[in-house]
Each structure stands twice: as C-alpha cells, then as structure tokens.
Amino acid sequence: MNTQQNPATVRVPAHLARTVRQLYGQAGEVWLEALPDLVARLAKRWGIVVEPPFAGLSYNYVAPAVTASGEPAVLKAGVPNPELSAEIAALQHYAGRGAVRLLAADAEAGALLLERLLPGAMLVEEPDDDEATAIAAQVMAELWQPLPAGHRFPTIVDWARGLERLRPTFGGGTGPFPERIVALAEGLFVELLASEQEPVLLHGDLHHYNILRATRAPWLAIDPKGLAGERGFEVYAWLKNPLPAGPRGDLRRLLPRRLEIFAERLGLERRRLAAWGLAGLVLSGWWSYEERGSGWEPVLALAEALAAHL
C-alpha cells in the first residue's frame, strides 16, 4: 500500500483556517503553512493513507485514514498546546475503556492517530432525551478512573480561575452577564471546591456530539479534555450541548429530568450536580465571550433556569 501523502492534496477548510488564525495569530499562520508537510510526515511515519478531512472542522485538522493493515483510523492534528497534550494523556490512561483507542501520538507535533469508530453515529441522533442521558451516564461511569500517580492533568481549580478574569474585564462589574448568576457561580465554585470529593479523571467535555456508536462497545467517547476533579462536574457539558431547542426546549422539564437521571444512575447528590452544572455553565459562557464575543447568551439562560434547582 502506498503510504505517501502528497502535501499538495491537503486542503485546509476555510473555517478551520480562520479559527486557527484568530486563536493563535502568527503561530497559527505558521502551523497552517506547515500542515501539508506535517500530514505527509505523519502518513509516512505511521504507515497510513490520509483521506480528505471531515466537514465542519473548527479547532483541529481531522481526517479519515487507513492503516497499512487496512484498518480505518482517524488523524487529528492541531497547533501544539497543553489541551492536546492532556487529550493524549487521557486517552493513554483510558486505554480504550469507555473511549476511542489511541493508536499513536506525537504531543510535540500536536498529532494523534485514533481508531475510527464505526458506524460512528453521534448520540445527538437519539430522539429520546431520557435514553440519551442514561447512555451518557453509563459512559461517564466507564470513563471515571483513578488518577495516575504524578499526573499533570489540569484541575477544576485551574479551570475555575478563568472566571476570575470576568469582573476585571468589566471594571469590577459583570458587563452583559447577569450579576446575580455570576455571583452565584463564583460562590458555588468556592463552596464546591472547598468540599470537593475524591477527584478522578474526567472527560471534561462530554456531550451529545462527543459520544459515538461503535462496534466493540455500544457507545464510546471522543475528544476528552482530560480533567482532574469531582465526578459531579462532568454533567455541565451535557446540559448545554446541544442547546435546548425544539423537542429539547422545555427547560422546566428537561433540566430536572436530566439531573434526576444522573443522580439515580451515578449515585450522586442531585443538588450538588445542579450546583456544579450552574458553575460550569457560567464558566463556559464566559469562555465563549472571551473567545468570540458571542454564543454565551443561551448558556447563561440555561444557568438561570438551573438556579431554580439549587
């Protein structure tokens, strides 16, 4: 099998190029220019044929590939950064349990070779929200493993520090963010972190688009952030992706029902789940504001709705 990848055949989607330039500036421009050669080197090194990239890319170049033995795989490459390094470390620790298998990696190059999950349908395609939430709970339980000795994963404390940038940005106020909800999230982080239960390795971004159908297990997770922290924090990403709309739009029913399922299936305290969820949602909304200046409004609306369940 020919494992040479012609650099000229690598096409960088326009949206990916814009995002990389916006986030990384000159370093992103350098990475984009070097990407065709990087893909060619990885194809030769790992003995793979790389096909055209998937549609809808945002932060990383992700393309289907075929190994020398004919097995389907996925090549993922991004501007080298701590987040990609944490993803590699998390997948190495999971070793295929509850998550996609990591076949090879080069953290210095920001590159991963992954098994390709087939049929690969996302959990977002499940129309029954109760069933989807129950599946997510099962995947969470499989993923939550004791942290390896001497780990270097970021912690919830590290993530929560990001919220400390909000008030200085607005001269001590909260700008367009509701003061009551920001203050509530700040207080909840203090309360929850002071009483944090035994930390485990969390996925950190486990939502409907990051759980896929597979053949060796009914459902497996992809794209872990790799986060050290209490189990209950994991639910925040599930509450906002996808943002409730259509059949999922009834927040008065949806939020308490999801919390109920997670509490029952995972043996976690419902109020604490709601508290972690609200704090995480406000932090996520702030990140959206920092990155794009938009996209935070629906997330804060969810946080406000969740406040009724504390």
* Residues designated catalytic: 205
Nearest to 282 by CA among 262, 306, 247: 306
Distance of alpha carbon 29 from alpha carbon 309, whole angstroms: 46
Q: Answer whether 50's CB lies under 8 Å from 89's CB.
A: no
Amino acid identity, residue 147? Answer: L
Q: Residue 229 pairs with which residues in a beta bridge? A: 200
Which three-class secondary structure string do you get for the chain? Answer: CCCCCCHHHCCCCHHHHHHHHHHHCHHHHHHHHHHHHHHHHHHHHHCEEECCCCCCCCCCEEEEEEECCCCEEEEEECCCCHHHHHHHHHHHHHCCCCECCEEEEEHHHCEEEEECCCCCCEHHHCCCHHHHHHHHHHHHHHHCECCCCCCCCCEHHHHHHHHHHHHHHCCCCCCCCCHHHHHHHHHHHHHHHHCCCCCEEECCCCCHHHEEECCCCCEEECCCCCEEECHHHHHHHHHHCCCCCHHHCCHHHHHHHHHHHHHHHHCCCHHHHHHHHHHHHHHHHHHHHHHHCCCCHHHHHHHHHHHHHC
